[in-house]
Amino acid sequence: MGNQNSIIFFDMETLSKGPKIRPNPQWAEIFQLGAVSMKRNGDSFEEYFLPPNLQGNIPTYSKIKHNFKKIGNTLYKDDEEVHWMGIKQGLEMFMEFLRRAAGSDGVVYLIAHNGSYFDFPILKNNLRHYDVAVPDGLTINLLDSLPFVRSEGYRSK
């Protein structure tokens, strides 16, 4: 799998525009994106995003699940103000984070739990929708940890 410097674990939260339990990847917009590199220094990325068309408050599902609210242009989690940025800017920063984390071969392994169904299609759709390109020379390999967790070899006996 290349060298250890190229392994990134990531997770996201979305503002669901589809069913509450399983957002449609074509409709869901990324609300929070977090990642940690397996480099020795543990480089990490964590940002909150708000889509440009979000009017008023956070959708009810996200308010209840994550305890967020938006008053004017200020975003709060658990009544504490948090920094946020537009999705396009945040995705560009995430691509730069991946470029820096890539091994000397320009390859990064992006690992998410249930990534094949949820994280990867949503990430791809948001990159496409906001016209954010993967940097030249960067290859992103997507790996889903869910099949490993479900395998017989992982279960305790």
Nearby residues of 42 by Cβ (< 8 Å), 6 or more positions away: 36
* Domain 9-101+116-136, architecture per CATH: 2-Layer Sandwich (3.30)
Residues composing the chain: 157
Q: Which of 31-40, 56-65, 124-133 has the lowest mean pLDDT?
A: 56-65
pLDDT single digits (tens) 72-125: 788 888 889 989 998 999 999 999 999 999 988 899 999 999 888 889 999 999
Please tell me the predicted confidence (pLDDT) of residue 111. Answer: 94
Question: Can you give the residue ranges of every domain in the chain?
Answer: 9-101+116-136
Q: What are phi and psi of 120, to 5 degrees?
A: -65, -50
Task: Please tell me the pTM assigned to this model.
Answer: 0.83
Greatest mean pLDDT among 13-17, 38-42, 77-81, 86-90? 86-90
pLDDT category, 66, cuts 50, 70, 90? Answer: low
